[in-house]
Structure 1
Amino acid sequence: MPKVTAEYRAAKRDEIIDAATRCFAAKGYQRTSMADIIDEAGLSAGAIYGHFAGKKELFAAAAGKVLEARQSELAARSADREPLSPGEVIAVLIEGIRRVPFSGVIVQLWAEAAVDPEIRELVAGVLSRIRETVRTHLAEWAAAAPGRVDGDPDAWAHRVAPVVIGLAPGFMIQRVVAPGFDEEAYLAALPEMLPH
C-alpha cells in the first residue's frame, strides 16, 4: 500500500474544511450534520473522521483557516510600510471576515458558546489567537512613533486589543440583523475613530 504524504493529508484536510464551510454557510452551524459534510465532501465517513473528531472540531478548523488568511493579509498590508494603525488593523480583519461564506454563522456560534462549554472552549481558542494577532500589530504601531500612546507600547496594546477586537462583533451582528446596515461606512469610520 503506498504511503500517504503529509502534503496529501494536508490537501485532503483542506478539502474537508472547505466542504464543511460550504455546509455551514448554507445551513448554519446547528442545522449542519456530519452527514451533510460527508456528502458535500464526497468522501467516506472514515476519511472525514480520520481527520476530524466531529462538527465542532471542523468548525474550529474552518475558523482557524479564516484567521490564518487574515493574519497573512495583515502581514501583506504591513509589508514595506509603516505599521497599520489600530483602525486599519481591525478594518483589514473585518474586510476579510465578511468575504468568508459562513461569516453569518459566526454570530450563531457565539450564541452557542454562551451555553455550550465545548464550543466556548473552541471559540475562546480562536479568539485568543485573534487577540494576539491584533495585540502584536497594535504594539508595532505604537512603538513606531514614540509618544503615540502613554506608557509602554506593549502594555498599551495589551489593554487596547480587546476593545479593538470588540468592533468586529458589532459589525457582524449589525450586518446580520440590522436592515440597511451600511458596511462600507462602518469600515470607513474605523480608521477615523481610532488613533492614527
Structure 2
Amino acid sequence: MPKISDARRDARRAQIVEAAMRVFATKGYQHTSMAEIIAEAGLSTGAVYGYFESKRDLFSAVARRTLGRRNADLEAAAAAGRPPAPGEVLGIVVNGLVSEGIDLRLLLQLWGEATVNPDMREVLNAGVKVLREAFSAALRRWFEAHPDQAPDGIDVTVERLVPVVMGIGQGFIVQSAMIDDFDPPAYLESARRTLPH
C-alpha cells in the first residue's frame, strides 16, 4: 500500500478537525458522537480513528487550531506596524473567533463541562495556557513600546493584566451567547477605553 504524503496527511487531519468543529457547533460537545463526526468528515471509521483516538482528542485539536489562529492574528497585527494596545488585542481575538464562525455557545459548554469533568478540565487548561501565552506576548510588545504605562515594570504589569483581559474576553463570550440585545462593538469599544491605551 503506498504511503501518503505529509501534505495529504495534514489535509486529511484538517478535514476531520473542520468536520468536528461543524458538528460540535451544531450539537454541542456532550450531544455529539464520533459517528456523527465521521459521517460529517465523509471518511471511514478507521481513517478518523487513525488520527484521533476519541472525541476528547478531537475537541482538543479543535481548540488548539482555533487558538493557534488567534495567536497568528496577534503576531500579524504586531508585524503590520505598531503593536496593538490591550483593548485592541482583545478585539483581535474575539473578532477572530466570531469571523471564523466559532459558535460561542460551544465555549460555554466546554467551560461548564470542565467544572465537573476532569478530562475536559485538562483540555480547557491546555487551551487557556496557549491563549495566556498569546495574550502575554501581545501585551508585552505593547508595553515595551509604552514603558510609561507599566510603572511597576513590564513583567509585573503583563502578569497582572493578562487574567483581566482574558476575563473581559470571557464576558464578551458569555454575553454574546446568552443575551439577546448584546452589543459586541459597544462592549469592545468600552473595553478598549477601559484598558491601557
- Same structural fold, with TM-score higher than 0.5 when normalized by the shorter chain: yes
Is 1:96 matched up with 2:102? Answer: no
C-alpha distance in 2 between matches for 1:139 and 1:101: 27
Tell me, yes or no, if the aligned pair for 1:21 and 1:62 is still in contact at 8 Å.
yes
Cα deviation per residue 1:88-123 (whole Å; 9 max; x = unaligned)? Answer: 101110111123333321110100000000100011
C-alpha distance in 1 between matches for 2:80 and 2:22: 35
Cα deviation per residue 1:116-142 (whole Å; 9 max; x = unaligned)? Answer: 001000110000110011011111111
Tell me, yes or no, if the aligned pair for 2:104 and 2:176 is still in contact at 8 Å.
no
C-alpha distance in 1 between matches for 2:103 and 2:192: 26
What does residue 174 of structure 1 align with?
A: 175
Output the aligned Cα RMSD. 1.1
> Structure 1 length as normaliser, TM-score?
0.96
SS in 1 for 2:29: coil
What does residue 29 of structure 1 align with?
A: 29
> Structure 2 length as normaliser, TM-score?
0.95
C-alpha distance in 2 between matches for 1:58 and 1:184: 32
What does residue 3 of structure 1 align with?
A: 3
Shift >2 Å, 4+ stretches: 99-103
How many residues of Structure 1 are paired with residues of Structure 2 in the alignment? 196
Tell me, yes or no, if the aligned pair for 1:63 and 1:126 is still in contact at 8 Å.
yes
Q: How does 1:63-102 map to 2 (within 5 A)?
A: 63-99=63-99, 100-102=101-103
Could you list the runs of 5+ residues in structure 1 that have no partner in the other structure? none
| AA matched with 2:72 | S
Tell me, yes or no, if the aligned pair for 1:21 and 1:102 is still in contact at 8 Å.
no
Q: Tell me which moved more, 34-43 or 77-86.
A: 77-86
Identity in percent: 41
| AA matched with 1:124 | N
Q: CA deviation at 1:155?
A: 2.4
What does residue 138 of structure 1 align with?
A: 139
What does residue 108 of structure 2 align with?
A: 107
| AA matched with 1:42 | G
C-alpha distance in 2 between matches for 1:166 and 1:184: 17
Q: CA deviation at 1:73?
A: 1.2
What does residue 50 of structure 2 align with?
A: 50
Could you list the runs of 5+ residues in structure 2 that have no partner in the other structure? none
SS in 2 for 1:147: helix
